[in-house]
Amino acid sequence: MPTVQIPLPSASINEPPPLLRALQVLSNYNGFPVACANAINGRARLNASGGTPPPYNYSSWPSGELQMEADSLPAGNRLWYVRFYQYCSLSFPWVLNAPPAIQIDLVVTGEKCLAKTAAPSASKV
C-alpha cells in the first residue's frame, strides 16, 4: 500500500509583549507627594499595558484600593499588583515620600513677666 503524505498548515504561537507599568504620582506639594509628614493626601495612578489584552485587575497594599488610581494615601511603602489573563500578575513596589517634619526649638532665658520668671519650653510640630 503506498504512503500518502498530506501537508499540514503551519502555525506559530507568539508570546504577548511584556506587561509594562507606569506609575504617575498625581499629587504635588512643593515637590513631595504628600503635604507633610503625617498627611494622608497622596494620590497616584498605575497604568498597565502590554501582556495579554485588558482588562487588568489592580490592587494595592496596604490601602486596599482595587483600581488603577489610589488617593488619601499617607507617606510610606506601597505595593501595587496588576493581574491579567486570570493567572498572571506583576507586583510593583513604590514609596511615597513626605517632607521632613517641621521642628521648632524655642528657648526663653532670663525674661521676667509680672515679676515671674518664664519657664523655657520647646515644642515639635
CATH class for domain 20-104? Answer: mainly beta
If you average pLDDT over residues 8-24, what whole number do you get? 82
Measuring CA to CA, how many Å separate 4 from each of 1, 7, 9? Answer: 9, 10, 16
pLDDT, average across residues 91-95: 88
Give the residue extent of every domain in the chain: 20-104
Q: For 105, phi and psi rounded to 5 degrees?
A: -115, 125
Cell of 34: 504628600
Mean local confidence (pLDDT), 51-64: 78
Higher pLDDT, 96 or 20: 96
The pLDDT confidence band at residue 33, using thresholds 50, 70 and 90, is very high
Mean pLDDT on 54-67 = 79
Give the residue-averaged pLDDT of 46-72.
81
**Angstrom distance (rounded) from CA 115 to CA 58:** 66
Contact 74, 9 (CB under 8 A): no
Summarize the confidence of residues 62-71 as an average pLDDT. Answer: 80
**Is the whole-model pTM more than 0.85?**
no
pLDDT of residue 120: 60
Is the pLDDT confidence value at 86 over 90? no
